[in-house]
Amino acid sequence: MATANTNLSAYDKSTIPNAKDFRFGIVVSEWNEEITQGMFQGAFDAIIDCGGIKENIVRWNVPGSFELIYGAKKMTQAFDMLDAVIVIGSVIQGETKHFDYVCEAVSQGIKDLNIQGDIPVIFCVLTDNNWQQAKERSGGKHGNKGTEAAIAAIKMAQLRKDARF
């Protein structure tokens, strides 16, 4: 496993743009809520740590990871002043192929939003084999994927700002 005994959430704040002037949307799946809430908290804390303002962060909840696509699409339409959107979900392998269909659909849907829209949508969906792996990546020994997504969102918000003509 590539992340064995590694915390991937450490970042050097001096290399991250200041987030004080950016607005972020975060769409959070209610499915596997213990996992997704941990990732939301990691994302929120990282944005604040990098200068973000609490009032510039909008959170919407959706029932499951499949619904993240629609939630992100509607969020980008409702708040055109957002600089980036983070989608947070957790899909854990079960006994059926449902896992495969959900993971594929969500990743393709988020990719499509990035191609078609002007607001970057950051993919923060865990696709783990079991509950323990999800716990380890949502604030456990492998860090917090929400933190990583927030850093990506800040960098993409800066790229979007810099790329405007």
List the catalytic residue out of 98, 111, 141, 161.
98
Please state, in angstroms and rounded to a whole number, the distance separating the CA atoms of residues 25 and 15.
22
CA–CA distances in Å: residue 135 to residues 47, 130, 151, 165: 21, 9, 20, 42
Please state, in angstroms and rounded to a whole number, the distance separating the CA atoms of residues 80 and 138.
29
Please state, in angstroms and rounded to a whole number, the distance separating the CA atoms of residues 95 and 20.
45
Whether the CB-CB separation of 86 and 150 falls below 8 Å is answered with yes
98 in active site: yes
Active site residues: 98
